[in-house]
């Protein structure tokens, strides 16, 4: 793991409770040398497959009916399909208060006074408030070409050309843009793919225009989209029975879930011809009390799918970004119990919202390309929460074993001494270096401090600070710091950098200002925003623990905060000492350590900080963390080692297996064993 040399010195200077010399070695020579397996709340390793009985039971569980989700229109078939993962929106809303909407040639005359023109201009103005000039022109040209192809009866339009309007990360903004585009161009549909909005021709609209006039088709789709209760729509009278039958068939085939059709003789018909009209009504809704019961059940019936995620040499947030893109959801729809290492093979429980098991299974092959896989897929009732685990199991191989500099003692004895010390006496429960990122110039705690101080522009610049490397990611970051050209940087940033691209897309839309940067940070899921603030709190906790042990040692002293929970019992009283992790709802020790906290906060400009950042929707209550921890079930084996009476061979390695409680770091435990940075 590469780290900033200055930061490595700082971490190495943290206080250690053992005086053994330790030994040197390397970890993570390959991801398979560092295996992390989550232990669930029942104490089970999550990499174990569920038994066949449980799998059979889960298969026959009734599939949750997501009644909270409106049916979605499949633009290819025109049928409502709850399985669709694309967000397909219908056409323009009709604002008339009249309950009976009748398509009539007289309606055309009533708009000849210029009202329609003014309305169209108003819609164009609305579009310009969402889209830049170039995209607005592209949309108008796209709409014109679709109409021209339809008028010329070209069949190429059946291939469903599309136009991307770009990404819009705020849900309300996407909803408004969907509506405005539909109102302006009712012969188009808008499709949501993640946060991107794509425009396509509405083939159902075209098909209806083959049966009725374009004006009738326009009014009918307005009626459908308005969904006005107790209203009805009437097509123009027609004497051709076969034609009426074709219209009945079209409406019922495409929209039978929503409406029903009936034919009636035309009212006040003075001619002798048998002119019937087709009337469309929305199907009756359930009784209010039944509807209320259904609404109350919606929250309970949101689809959640649990699974075990295996990833190799992949950052967790990058893995979530890839999964979200493939499943058509957003990263915040995933919940998990804890973060896992990047350069490792890791197994962890996850729950995804709004995705059923079958949908998740359908992307398994694509995940293999990213060194990911999922198994133990089953429906559940609730998401996971951070900390909802018992701990983690580690299988670690340490290679290139050797004595510390200027130590000539038997290496095997040094290794055994170190393992026994930590096994019985524990280690200081520091947050590991990976908590603060692997960058040489900027660490995550620096970004967290800027966010706590509401220095949004500074936080963005820190996030996009490049390393001294000549790769596409750092070239893009360097370009941004030189130019603040978000759009240009976005074109340079690789597709797999989901966080960087999300931030840049927002900066392109809202600008490199304090307000624009605030909105850019809001493009991140809440769990990602809070991660940076927690990194700062973690750094301060590490320094506080080191200071406390340096001045007081391992003994309990007056003013210490002590945990009284019964399960905190490691056979030595100092294991009960806790220190606060910064937040608005914590107490400080009433001794020199408490004074130290106040001095550090003042030095960092946080003396008045309430650990709430309303603009980013961040509230940090804080918590307490045990100063000392012990590994459980620690075992070891020297691999490739021959006779125990002779020196360890040069190619020998040390295999360690142990369990740690939640939020403990294996790298910190190893540091205490080896007395060497890993």
Give CA–CA dist 93/183, Å, rounded: 7
Q: Which residues pair with 279 in a beta bridge?
A: 234, 262
Q: Which residues pair with 562 in a beta bridge?
A: 577
Return the H-helix or E-strand segment holding 262: strand 259-265
Q: Which residues pair with 89 in a beta bridge?
A: 190
- Torsion sign over Cα 553, 600, 430, 45: positive
> What is the token pair recorded at 26?
């390397």
CB-CB neighbours of 448 under 10 Å:
25
> What is the token pair recorded at 93?
């809303």
Give CA–CA dist 620/613, Å, rounded: 9
Give CA–CA dist 152/602, Å, rounded: 73
For 37-49, the three-class secondary structure string (H helix, E strand, C coil) is EEECCCCCECCCC
Q: At what angle do helices 526-552 and 444-452 cross, to 10 degrees?
A: 100
Query: Which residues are CB-contacts of 545 (< 8 A; sequence separation ≥ 6)?
Result: 14, 15, 428, 429, 430, 579, 627
280: left (phi over 0), alpha (psi -120 to 50) or beta: beta
List the catalytic residue out of 341, 445, 560, 641.
341
- Kindly report the backbone phi and psi dihedral angles of residue 354, in degrees, each rounded to the nearest multiple of 5, phi listed first: 70, 20
Is residue 260 within 8 Å of residue 280, measured between CB atoms? yes
Longest dimension (CA), the chain: 116
**Exposed e or buried b per residue across 49-81, where buried means at least 16 C-beta atoms within 10 angstroms of its C-beta:** ebeeeeeeebeeeeebeeeeeeebbbbeebbbe
Is residue 340 within 8 Å of residue 346, measured between CB atoms? yes
**Exposed e or buried b per residue across 547-563, where buried means at least 16 C-beta atoms within 10 angstroms of its C-beta:** bbbeebebeeeeebbee
For 433-478, the three-class secondary structure string (H helix, E strand, C coil) is HHHHCCCCCCCHHHHHHHHHCCCHHHHHHHHCCCCCCCCHHHHHHH
Query: Which residues are CB-contacts of 212 (< 8 A; sequence separation ≥ 6)?
Result: 103, 220, 235, 236, 247
Give CA–CA dist 633/418, Å, rounded: 16
Query: Which residues are CB-contacts of 678 (< 8 A; sequence separation ≥ 6)?
Result: 1, 25, 26, 27, 667, 670, 671
Identify whether 341 is a catalytic site residue.
yes
Compute CA distances 311 → 197, 317, 333, 631, whole Å. Answer: 30, 11, 19, 24
Question: What 3-state class would DSSP assign to 272?
Answer: coil
Catalytic residues: 341
């Amino acid at each position: 793991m590469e780290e900033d040399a200055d930061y490595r010195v700082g971490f190495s200077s943290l206080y250690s409770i053992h005086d053994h010399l330790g030994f040197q070695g390397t970890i993570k020579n390959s991801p398979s040398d560092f295996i992390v397996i989550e232990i669930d709340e029942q104490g089970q390793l999550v990499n174990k497959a569920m038994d066949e009985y449980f799998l059979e039971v889960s298969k026959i569980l009734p599939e949750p009916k997501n009644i909270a989700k409106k049916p979605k229109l499949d633009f290819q078939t025109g049928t409502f399909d709850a399985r669709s993962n694309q967000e397909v929106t219908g056409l323009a809303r009709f604002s008339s208060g009249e309950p009976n909407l009748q398509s009539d040639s007289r309606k055309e005359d009533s708009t000849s006074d210029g009202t329609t023109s003014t309305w169209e201009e108003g819609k164009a103005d609305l579009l310009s408030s969402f889209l830049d000039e170039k995209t607005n022109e592209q949309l108008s040209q796209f709409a014109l070409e679709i109409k021209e192809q339809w008028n010329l009866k070209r069949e190429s339009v059946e291939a469903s050309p599309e136009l991307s309007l770009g990404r819009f990360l705020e849900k309300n903004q996407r909803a408004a843009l969907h509506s405005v585009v539909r109102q302006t161009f009712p012969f188009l549909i808008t499709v949501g793919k993640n946060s991107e909005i794509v425009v396509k021709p509405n083939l159902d609209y075209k098909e209806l225009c083959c049966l009725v006039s374009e004006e009738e088709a326009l009014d009918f789709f307005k009626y459908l989209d308005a969904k006005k209760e107790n209203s009805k729509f009437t097509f123009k009278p027609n004497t051709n029975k076969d034609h009426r039958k074709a219209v009945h068939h079209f409406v019922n085939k495409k929209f039978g879930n929503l409406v029903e059709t009936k034919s009636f003789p035309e009212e006040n018909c003075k001619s002798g011809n048998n002119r019937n009209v087709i009337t469309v009504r929305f199907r009756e809704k359930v009784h209010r009390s039944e509807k209320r019961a259904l609404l109350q059940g919606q929250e309970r019936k949101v689809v959640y799918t649990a699974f075990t995620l295996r990833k190799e040499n992949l950052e967790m947030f990058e893995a979530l970004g890839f999964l979200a893109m493939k499943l058509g959801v957003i990263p915040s729809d995933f919940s998990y119990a804890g973060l896992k290492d990047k350069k490792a093979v890791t197994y962890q429980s996850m729950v995804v919202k709004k995705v059923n098991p079958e949908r998740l299974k359908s992307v398994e092959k694509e995940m293999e390309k990213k060194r990911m896989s999922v198994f133990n897929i089953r429906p559940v009732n609730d998401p996971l929460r951070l900390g909802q685990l018992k701990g983690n199991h580690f299988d670690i191989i340490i290679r290139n074993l050797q004595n510390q500099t200027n130590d000539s003692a038997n290496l095997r004895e040094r290794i055994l001494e170190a393992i026994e010390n930590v096994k019985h006496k524990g280690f200081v429960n520091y947050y590991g270096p990976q908590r603060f990122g692997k960058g040489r110039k900027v660490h995550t705690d620096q970004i967290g401090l800027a966010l706590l101080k509401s220095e949004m522009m500074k936080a963005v610049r820190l996030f996009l600070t490049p390393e001294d490397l000549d790769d596409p990611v750092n070239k893009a970051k360097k370009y941004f710091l030189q130019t603040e050209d978000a759009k240009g940087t976005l074109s340079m940033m690789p597709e797999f950098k989901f966080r960087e691209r999300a931030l840049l897309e927002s900066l392109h839309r809202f600008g490199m200002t304090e307000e624009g940067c605030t909105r850019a940070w809001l493009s991140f899921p809440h769990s990602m925003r809070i991660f940076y603030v927690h990194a700062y709190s973690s750094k301060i906790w590490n320094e506080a623990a080191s200071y406390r042990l340096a001045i007081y040692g391992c003994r309990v002293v007056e003013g210490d905060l002590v945990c009284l929970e019964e399960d905190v019992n490691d056979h030595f009283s100092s294991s009960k000492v806790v220190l606060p992790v910064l937040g608005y709802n914590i107490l400080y020790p009433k001794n020199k350590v408490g004074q130290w906290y106040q001095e550090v906060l003042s030095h960092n400009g946080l003396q008045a900080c309430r650990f709430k950042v309303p603009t980013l929707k961040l509230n940090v209550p804080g918590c307490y963390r045990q100063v000392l921890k012990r590994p459980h079930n620690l075992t070891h084996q020297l691999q490739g080692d021959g006779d125990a009476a002779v020196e360890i061979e040069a190619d020998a390695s040390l295999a360690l297996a142990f369990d740690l409680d939640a939020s403990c770091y294996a790298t910190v435990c190893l540091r205490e064993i080896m007395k060497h940075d890993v």
